[in-house]
Each structure stands twice: as C-alpha cells, then as structure tokens.
A = this chain, B = another copy of it.
C-alpha cells in the first residue's frame, strides 16, 4: 500500500537499502532530495557515479585510490618495509589521524567470518602474502579490530606469515587513554595487567 508516486517510492527504497537507514529515515532523505534544487540533486547523482567509476583499490596496499597506486605506497617518506594490516579503508584514516605511524598499510576489505560466509579467498590475504614474498618487508602489524572475527583473522594471517620469518605483531590491548578504570570491562583490564610495562 503506497500513496507516494512510483519514482519517489523507488528512491525511498534505494535509501532504505543503505546500512543503518530504516524506512522512516529513507522517507525523510528522499523528501530532502526532492526539495533540493534540480542541479544539486543532479550533482548528488553525479557524485555517486563519479566515486563509483573513479575510485578503485591501490595495486599494492588495496586501499581506495583514484590513481594506480595510493599516495602512501607512492611516498618515499614512508617506511615501505612495515605493513599495517587493517580490515577496512576507514581504519587507515583512524591510524593516520594519530600522525605517529610512518609505515604502509594493507587493507583486507573484510574479516574472516564463517557466519557470513566470508572465507580467506573473499578478503585480500593472497595480495598480502604476495607482497611480503616479493618485497623486503621487515614487520607486519596486525591491526584488525579486537573482536572475535578480527582476532581470528589476525591469527590466521600470522600463521600464513610464519614461513617468511618476519616480525608479526599485534596492536597492544589495554585501557584507553583518558578513560576510567571503573568503566573498563574485565577482559580489557586483565589484558592491561598482562601487558603492563615498566615505568
């Protein structure tokens, strides 16, 4: 049962298919787009086409880029012998924000997840192994999320990297800076005690 014109319904459907957008929000977004001036609506549509056609994965690190190789892989100011393995392109942004890390990245585009039928061939593990085999890599830092799937993925990849006899490390666990012990969960607190450092 619908009282909206078909093309409006179609647009609402499109918005509702996005992650985290329910039917009501989709309606609001569609109405907003309809209320835009013609050229702005058109430029929204163009932005989708443009991003979809010009953005692809860096040949080396699989991060999103418009060129053949991303700016980090192309930079001679970055330490090309260190690779930080993350699951999503947005994780690169998170680490870059810290302005401390000076190596390169490898974006897996997912994590192993038997529940969602994501196996080793569905994420960019082959490309990482090839990269380690072909280049002079000294250290691989596993920076997948500290959840079950991220852990399993890090563990799986670190085993595959064993034969290369390079240093494979994992991000440190512990209490977040600026947080409060009272609100730290048991698992985190235990890991923070295990990983304690000398002052």
Contact = CB atoms under 8 A, between A and B. Distances in A.
Given A19-B29, A48-B33, A7 B55 contact: yes
Given A32-B19, A45-B46, A7 B51 contact: yes
A187 interface: no
Contact of A48 (B11, B19, B25, B93): B11
Interface string A1-41: 10111111011011000111100010111111110101001
Number of this chain's copies in the complex? 2
A20 to B, nearest CB: 7
Interface string A75-115: 00000000000001110110011000000000000000000
Contacts of A32: 18-19
A44 interface: yes
A47 interface: yes
A54 interface: yes
B65 A51 contact: no
Contacts of A72: 3
21 contacts: A4-B64, A4-B89, A5-B54, A5-B55, A5-B64, A10-B51, A11-B50, A14-B47, A18-B33, A27-B90, A31-B90, A33-B51, A33-B52, A34-B51, A34-B55, A36-B52, A38-B52, A42-B48, A45-B45, A45-B46, A45-B49
